[in-house]
């Protein structure tokens, strides 16, 4: 039996997910595409062969012919729609963030705890990227010894004109917060935030540099630079007692042209993480089919932790001080072996 999916949100992310589910993975079909814009919904529905369209997300989630839900609507709807899916008893793959508010994340967690099982798989797709999984393996198989430090670099070509350091922390950094926490198997205890000033009197695109400390003693450094100009580039290095590993972006060609040997950057994140999305969504279908939550996927608690770090980061940015990160008690539902 093929899984019937509802895609909520027909923007860039939603249409990408619709394409992956319909064209790259077996065992699922898109039943409904839902978007505030009926036109946008119809365009995506046509491209992925969906049976129906809608402009009402709650109604869509409740439909009898929908087995599972993909939420890629605006950020502030993620938690409410995830809650609706939980109430409907349907698994949901929710784009990050679960919520920018740790408090709202706890609402979702409490709903899952009340039902005694997990429904929400959170779209921190980097956990499925082969670079990060191999990095985590280099730690767990002893290649690196104990982890000591991790450096993370997130660069985009250009941010919107009104992009701020705070938005770098709340919108971009959560991917880094989550994946470093995933690789290290640790939780954050404190965050310090630095920003370059006006260089020679002029602003330079609101990059942010963060130093995080973990409960296992590690340092995690994160640069968010959304006006890096040169390309979309995510890099990282994990440093252990015996050595270190770098993330390599998989590259297919090296060009010898015009006095340079050059490898190309993509202008956005999609080529870099295409395989991660495919593997993440495949894991979600397996979750829907079996009820067994994917071992490496992010769950609601992970979403809460990312939100709490971002909240502390915003405070650290505003005050210039090192801010401790306090979290609630982790429910047994989210313990990992």
Q: Is 138 in the site for a second copy (CB under 8 A)?
A: yes
Residue 60: cis peptide before it, omega within 30 degrees of 0:
no
Among 89, 116, 141, 260, binds a second copy (CB under 8 A): 260
Residue 322, SS3 per DSSP: coil
Among 211, 296, 327, 333, binds a second copy (CB under 8 A): 211
| Residues of this chain, 17-56, that bind a second copy according to CB under 8 A | 22-28
Binding mask 57-96 toward a second copy (x if CB under 8 A, else -) reads ----------------------------------------
Q: Judged by CB, which is closer to a second copy: 115, or 322?
A: 322
For 296, counting Cβ atoms within 10 Å of its Cβ (0-12 exposed, 13-18 middle, 19+ buried), the class is: middle
Least distance to a second copy, CB of residue 104, Å: 31
Give the separation between CA 278 and CA 100, rounded to whole angstroms.
Answer: 25
Interface stretch with a second copy, choices 4-12, 50-58, 139-147, 323-331 (CB under 8 A): 139-147
Q: Is 270 in the site for a second copy (CB under 8 A)?
A: no
Residue 21, SS3 per DSSP: helix
Closest CA to 213 of 193, 187, 236, 182: 187
Binding mask 277-306 toward a second copy (x if CB under 8 A, else -) reads ------------------------------
Q: Is 172 in the site for a second copy (CB under 8 A)?
A: no
Q: What angle do CA 227, 229, 235 make, to 5 degrees?
A: 80
Burial code of 156-185, b = ≥16 C-beta within 10 A, e = fewer? bbebeeebebbbbbbbbbbbbbbbbbbbbe
Among 101, 164, 166, 227, binds a second copy (CB under 8 A): 227
Among 243, 318, 324, 336, binds a second copy (CB under 8 A): 243
Give the separation between CA 268 and CA 157, rounded to whole angstroms.
Answer: 8
| Residues of this chain, 177-196, that bind a second copy according to CB under 8 A | 192, 194-196
Q: Is 142 in the site for a second copy (CB under 8 A)?
A: no
Cross-strand partners of 221: 151, 211
Among 36, 43, 47, 149, binds a second copy (CB under 8 A): 149
Give the separation between CA 90 and CA 61, rounded to whole angstroms.
Answer: 8
Among 1, 114, 161, 257, binds a second copy (CB under 8 A): 257
């Amino acid at each position: 039996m093929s899984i019937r999916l509802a895609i909520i949100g027909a923007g860039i992310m939603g249409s990408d997910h619709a394409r992956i589910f319909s064209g790259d993975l077996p065992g699922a079909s898109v039943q409904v595409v839902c978007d505030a814009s009926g036109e946008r919904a119809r365009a995506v529905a046509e491209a992925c062969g969906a049976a129906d369209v809608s402009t009402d997300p709650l109604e869509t989630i409740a439909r009898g012919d929908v087995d599972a839900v993909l939420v890629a609507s605006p950020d502030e709807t993620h938690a409410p729609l995830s809650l609706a899916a939980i109430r409907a008893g349907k698994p949901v793959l929710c784009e990050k963030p679960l919520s920018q508010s740790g408090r709202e994340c706890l609402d979702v967690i409490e709903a899952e705890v009340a039902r005694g099982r997990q429904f929400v798989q959170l779209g921190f797709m980097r956990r499925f990227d082969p670079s990060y999984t191999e990095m985590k393996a280099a730690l767990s198989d002893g290649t690196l010894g104990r982890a000591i430090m991790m450096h993370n670099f997130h660069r985009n070509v250009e941010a919107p004109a009104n992009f701020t350091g705070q938005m770098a922390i709340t919108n971009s950094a959560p991917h880094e917060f989550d994946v470093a926490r995933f690789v290290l198997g640790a939780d954050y205890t404190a965050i310090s935030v630095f920003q370059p000033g006006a260089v020679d009197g002029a602003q330079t695109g609101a990059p942010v540099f963060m130093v995080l400390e973990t409960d296992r003693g590690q340092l995690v450094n994160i640069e968010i630079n959304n006006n890096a100009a040169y390309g979309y580039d995510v890099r990282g290095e994990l440093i252990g007692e015996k050595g270190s590993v770098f993330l390599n972006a998989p590259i297919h060609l090296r060009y010898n042209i015009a006095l340079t040997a050059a490898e190309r950057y993509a202008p956005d994140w999609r080529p870099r993480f295409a395989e991660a999305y495919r593997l993440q969504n495949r894991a979600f279908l397996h979750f829907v089919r079996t009820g067994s939550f994917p071992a490496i996927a992010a769950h609601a608690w992970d979403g809460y932790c990312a939100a709490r770090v971002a909240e502390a980061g915003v405070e650290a940015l505003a005050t210039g001080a090192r801010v401790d990160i306090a979290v609630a008690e982790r429910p047994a539902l989210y313990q990992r072996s």
